[in-house]
Structure 1
Amino acid sequence: MTSAQRKMRLSYMASEIAGQLIFCVISFYILKFYTDVYGLSAAAAGTILLLARCIDAFDAPLWGILFEKTHSRWGKSRPWFLWLCVPFAIFGVLTFVTPGLSGTAKIAYAGATYVVTSILYTGINTPVTSILAALTPDAHERVVLTSFRMFGSKFAVLFVNLSVLPLVSFLGHGDDRKGFMVVMPFYAIGTVVLYLLAFRNLREVVYERRQRLSVRESVQALRNNAPWAIIFLSSLFFWIAFIARISSAPYFFEYVMHRADLTSTANSLDFVSLGSILFLPWLCQRMSKRNVWAFGLAGSAIAQLIVFVGVHAHSVSVVLDGWVVGFLASGLAMAIPFSILSDSVDYGEWKSGVRAAGFLTAIGAAFCLKAGSGLGGALPAWILASMGYVPNVAQGARSIFGIELACIWLPALAYALAIVPVVFYLRYELMEPMIQRDLEERRRTAALVSESL
């Protein structure tokens, strides 16, 4: 590995850590924060999470179109790290501020801050994925870069889960409202610093026609782009499953396992997924990416069954075993789509002549992540509300069943559904070498024509 490669890989990893410092707190703890700290009903909290996802149905494509129209001396994706890091950090803090409001005003404030943070996260996280296609044309190096990105993600998740609740308790002196308001600015500062580091060090080097794509041209890159459609469908179900599992974990460990102290420990086990992510390039050289992807999703579903066995055996160790297996498997299932989205960008260019990395990434990655996160948070909240959940009291049999349904069976079903489209991916994976050769020839021809004019 050369010094330039090392710098690029570490800087790409930093861009992922930057976003996770805030988004991880939201993904893991916003539902519990809304119901048990800020005092919203579970139904209202679920509605807020879904509202943000409905807005994402519009803002993700708009961001994608905006990215395609971006041409600056820094490239198409890279400048957004500079432009959006401070607004995203500010609204990430405001999401956990609890002003003395009541009734509709209280719900409106929570909804507004969460929605704006969500919109800004789409704007700043999408370039983390879209820039991959511009950093290198090499498919294997893209897998390596994705592994570094996932390492950064898991490192950030571990750091947040080990630190956020203890810091909230310590700095809030038992007042969680105060604790979140004090802790979140520290994470926000880290977010800004790391995004600026990525902006400084990353470079977009893959040749691209300097043109501002119209909406019609951007949409054309979706037409008959079967590998992108497969990624979209599978990723949507994956994120519903993953977020449902982690957002309902605080309720699960407090009320089902009667071990609220294990919430941070269990969610911190996400770090073990590095064990699978570090082997991702090696695995993808020895078997198809389709098979690695399907194996990760199947393992994630099986892990939910292990958790179920642990619950009914009254065994904390078996439950945690299921948690570990789930994170190990989901590491593969999470990383592969981020890597192969760049391949779907190449496929779209090969098929239609339009290279719409920003647009395809905004919908294929950012929208799936945000829509899945919203549904993965909203569905458990609505399940809890329908089963009679009341915060901070002993739960009855009906609400306990609701928590199990939200934390075990909803994710298991979504993981299983995510496998279905993956089955059809191998055909397009086998076409990648031929597509790369054709695109390289087209780019050489275009460069020669440009020089002759």
Structure 2
Amino acid sequence: MVSTATPSPSKVSLGVRLGYAVGSFCTANFATIPGLLLLFYMTNVLAVPAGLAGVVLFLPKAWDLIANTMVGRWSDRTVSRWGPRRPWLLAGAAVLPVSFALVFAGPPLTGAPAAAYVGLTFLLATTGYALYEVPYKAMPAEMTTDYHERTSLLQWRMVLIAVGIAMSGILAPAIAGDTADGYRTMGISFGVILLVAMLASFFGTARAPFTAPQKSEGTLREQLAAARTSKQFLWLLGLSSAQTLGAGVMLAGAPYFAAYSLDDTSATTTLFAALVGPMLVTMPLWVWLARKLDKRGAMILSGSLFTGGALLILATPALGELYAHLCVMIVGVGYAGLQLLQFSMLADVIAHDGAVSGERRGGVFTGLWTAVENAVTALGATAYGWVLSAGGFVSSDPEHPVTQPGSAHVAVMIGVTVVPAVITFAGVLMTLRYDLTADRLAAVTGGAGTTPSAAAVTGAETAGKDGGQPEPGEVLRTEE
């Protein structure tokens, strides 16, 4: 039975906002720790050659192109007592935490055998992440019809992402150290954190409003074709990919920059504090800028700050470690805006498509988005590995340290400055072609905050009487 109550199209309760936002610990930790530490773990602890380590990081992402689109499609067509998305949060919680811990808790292998083990367990972890993250990203577009409310809703998510990045960027390197035992302890500890966060988001979104078309028609191929015809989605995917790739290259290079440019391995922690600190305090500013400049204008500003801050880091050898941290803070201010705005804009694109098509296809969009995002994130580490290889970087293990050639030191610096700056600036240029503004979206949906079409519902699409929740006894199924 479908509830006939008029949905609240604009406001989302504080409890639901926080319940949804806590899932960001999963997003932040899984996106950050492999990007920050996995390449370094393989090259400097497991003695895996840098080029091979980069390939190992990237190959599991090829599977994402299949897995994420399938999960998105399944969640679009799911009918359950918990709504279309939430059952998949539980599925991800059953797979990701254990496989993540196993990535860093393997047998005592080095070289190619170690690379094979890490590649297999990382493949399992990325599968679990797909089961969770694809439906999780689709939910904000279905919680409200208001253009600016989506930004406010996601502000909470970005704050907790900043906390999660701080945890993973500061605590994970401190726990891991430079030994296999340290990495094993870190993997298990953060596996537990992932499990708690994923379960908390499942229970915290039990009363989330659901305002979206209640059907999903067509084959997967037809749905993917529909996504490819959305000009707004393609431009947003392109500019976001550039930003994610730039951040991924810089993230992978941070431990090398600390070790070889600052000659202080502990600086990885303080550099991360400088990066995520602005995310904790500038979110209200970016919400305000998104209203004043529209999201596109705010996105251009944030990308420009990221690009400029990255280029300023080039002067670190002359100006010192404190200067480097100040530059990273500039990067962090821009990164905060990029993170908030791209997901708010994704929710707008999904809402626009739902209003135009009359179908629920958010899972297909977020499936494609997450597949590309994960592949691009891994490509960042791969690209940095290629830069190191080109510079003659020599892999080692803790028992056999080596002295790097001067060309390797140059590669370390170029990889964390010029390369991410150029890539991110390409994203700024692509943002100029994105045209889904507040006025354009309102013209399609009937105006921000207005009552959605009759196809929209509140609660799960099988909603019953109690706060949008379905009648007990409904079981999970997907529409065929």
Q: Letter of the aligned partner of 1:361 in structure 2?
A: T
- 1:177 aligns with 180
Q: Distance in 2 between matches of 1:430 and 1:220?
A: 26
- 2:298 aligns with 292
Q: Distance in 2 between matches of 1:161 and 1:179?
A: 15
- 1:451 aligns with none
User: What does 1:391-406 correspond to in 2, within 5 Å?
Assistant: 391=395, 392-406=401-415
Q: Secondary structure at the match of 2:129?
A: helix
The yes-or-no answer on 1:355 pairing with 2:360 is yes
Q: Distance in 1 between matches of 2:146 and 2:113?
A: 51
Q: Distance in 1 between matches of 2:111 and 2:316?
A: 40
- 2:23 aligns with 15
- 1:192 aligns with 195
Say whether the 8 Å CA contact 2:392–2:408 is kept in structure 1: yes
Q: 1:134 to 1:280 in 2, by over 3 A?
A: same
Q: Distance in 2 between matches of 1:382 and 1:82?
A: 37
> 1:211: how far off?
4.5
- 2:429 aligns with 420
**Match among 45, 56, 81 for residue 53 of structure 2:** 45
User: What does 1:278-317 correspond to in 2, within 5 Å?
Assistant: 278-311=284-317, 313-317=318-322
Q: Distance in 1 between matches of 2:442 and 2:157?
A: 24
Aligned pairs, how many?
A: 439
Q: Letter of the aligned partner of 1:264 in structure 2?
A: T
Say whether the 8 Å CA contact 1:61–1:363 is kept in structure 2: yes
Q: 1:304 to 1:104 in 2, by over 3 A?
A: closer
Identity %: 20
Gaps of 5+ in 2: 1-10, 396-400, 458-480
Q: Distance in 1 between matches of 2:83 and 2:252?
A: 36
**Structure 1 residues 349-358 or 248-257, which shifts more?**
349-358
> 1:152: how far off?
0.7
Q: Distance in 1 between matches of 2:455 and 2:269?
A: 55
Q: Distance in 2 between matches of 1:445 and 1:97?
A: 49
> 1:359: how far off?
0.6
User: What does 1:36-435 correspond to in 2, within 5 Å?
Assistant: 36-102=44-110, 104-169=112-177, 176-202=179-205, 203-211=208-216, 213-269=218-274, 270-311=276-317, 313-364=318-369, 366-391=370-395, 392-426=401-435, 428-435=437-444
Q: 1:99 to 1:316 in 2, by over 3 A?
A: same
Say whether the 8 Å CA contact 1:306–1:318 is kept in structure 2: no
Q: Letter of the aligned partner of 2:66 in structure 1?
A: F
- 1:443 aligns with 453
Q: 1:292 to 1:221 in 2, by over 3 A?
A: same
Q: Letter of the aligned partner of 1:398 in structure 2?
A: S
Say whether the 8 Å CA contact 1:235–1:337 is kept in structure 2: yes
Q: Distance in 1 between matches of 2:224 and 2:394?
A: 46
> 1:7: how far off?
0.6
Q: Letter of the aligned partner of 1:238 in structure 2?
A: Q
Say whether the 8 Å CA contact 1:290–1:425 is kept in structure 2: yes
Say whether the 8 Å CA contact 2:255–2:268 is kept in structure 1: yes
TM-score by length of 1: 0.91
Q: Distance in 2 between matches of 1:382 and 1:32?
A: 13
Q: Letter of the aligned partner of 2:184 in structure 1?
A: M
Q: Distance in 2 between matches of 1:34 and 1:21?
A: 19
Q: 1:60 to 1:207 in 2, by over 3 A?
A: closer
Q: Secondary structure at the match of 1:248?
A: helix
Q: Letter of the aligned partner of 2:194 in structure 1?
A: T
- 1:28 aligns with 36
Q: Distance in 2 between matches of 1:445 and 1:394?
A: 65
**Structure 1 residues 321-330 or 280-289, which shifts more?**
280-289
Q: Secondary structure at the match of 2:22?
A: helix
Cα deviation code 1:48-104 (max 9, x no counterpart): 122122222322222222222222111111111112113100011011123123554
> 1:204: how far off?
4.3
Q: 1:223 to 1:106 in 2, by over 3 A?
A: closer
> 1:442: how far off?
6.9
Alignment RMSD: 2.3
Q: Distance in 1 between matches of 2:75 and 2:340?
A: 23
TM-score by length of 2: 0.86
Q: Distance in 2 between matches of 1:446 and 1:16?
A: 27
> 1:375: how far off?
1.0
Say whether the 8 Å CA contact 2:46–2:110 is kept in structure 1: no
Say whether the 8 Å CA contact 1:218–1:354 is kept in structure 2: no
Q: Distance in 1 between matches of 2:342 and 2:355?
A: 19
Say whether the 8 Å CA contact 1:221–1:355 is kept in structure 2: no
- 2:8 aligns with none
Give runs of ≥4 in structure 1 deviating > 6 Å: 438-442
Say whether the 8 Å CA contact 1:131–1:204 is kept in structure 2: no
Say whether the 8 Å CA contact 2:76–2:84 is kept in structure 1: yes
Q: 1:310 to 1:85 in 2, by over 3 A?
A: same
Say whether the 8 Å CA contact 2:286–2:337 is kept in structure 1: yes
Q: Distance in 1 between matches of 2:245 and 2:432?
A: 19
Q: Letter of the aligned partner of 1:95 in structure 2?
A: V
Q: Letter of the aligned partner of 1:229 in structure 2?
A: L
